[in-house]
Amino acid sequence: MSVKPVFTSLAAAVAISLSANVNAADTSEWAKDTTSGETDAAMHLEPDLENGLDVYEVCSACHMPEGWGFTDGTFPQLAGQHRPVLIKQLADIRALNRDNPTMYPFALPESIGDEQALADVTAYIEKLPMNPENGKGEWAEGTPEFEQGKKLYEDNCVQCHGDHGQGDREKFYPRIEGQHYAYMLRQFEWIRDGKRRNANPDMVEQIKNFTDKDMAMVVNYVSRIPVDPKDLAPSADWTNPDFD
């Protein structure tokens, strides 16, 4: 599969904008404690989107050229995710602060490059349009489980993840709207049960008493939060033109 960069004069403008946004990031104590020095270094580098596309070719084998992953949750949707979040997770995996044996060899510097590569590939991923048909849970709006999931979200998750799952790029809180249900459910369980070592301890404390049913209901609700159409691909049949 050949890759044809499509960014020309746009690259510089987008890179400047991204750099300005990320440099303002507030690295909380949690973030500092669970990252290597690569996180801060990468966030202060100006992204090169053309190199980001080249680096992303490695990632696309699992996350797909569109960055959508799989609705069955095998791999998460990366498209549209906040760049600081992506940088932090990549750096954590490389530093063995987050256990991900499948991804680890592909995230290493010898596979994708140094801090500049992290800056570049995350800038590219953040600008990808999201899947308009993400994987959703089984309970539709109006069901008792949907409504209970909504209440659990409002009572426990809004402060960090926002009123519609938008997250907070300056505090490393991920965007969870539009993410696949099965992937979120697995990560939620791992965080609750202490299997994800780089999880925010505030979240671990917040959800420690969630039952499995509670988890399923709140994640079902999140998976069904509508994403702003401007952030979505025009259809589920959209293909990334950079990979034509």
- Is 82 marked as binding a ligand? no
CA distance 226 to 59: 26
- Is 203 marked as binding a ligand? no
Backbone angles phi, psi at 82, to 5 degrees: -60, 135
- Is 184 marked as binding a ligand? no
DSSP string, 125-187: HHTSPBPTT----S--TTSHHHHHHHHHHHHHTHHHH-TTS--BGGGTBPP-TT--HHHHHHH
- Which two structure tokens, joined as six digits, stand for 221? 């609700």
- Is 180 marked as binding a ligand? no
- Is 164 marked as binding a ligand? no
CA distance 219 to 237: 25
113 backbone φψ class: left, alpha, beta (φ>0; ψ -120 to 50): left
- Which two structure tokens, joined as six digits, stand for 140? 């539709």
- Is 62 marked as binding a ligand? yes
- Which two structure tokens, joined as six digits, stand for 39? 């996180």
Q: What is the 3-state secondary structure (H, E, C) of 90-127?
A: HHHHHCCCCCCCCCHHHHCHHHHCCHHHHHHHHHHHHC
| Burial status of residue 142 (CB atoms within 10 A of its CB: 0-12, 13-18, 19 or more) | exposed
Residues 63, 69 contacting (CB under 8 angstroms):
yes
Q: Point out the annotated binding site for heme c.
A: 59, 62-63, 103, 157, 160-161
Q: Point out the annotated binding site.
A: 59, 62-63, 103, 157, 160-161
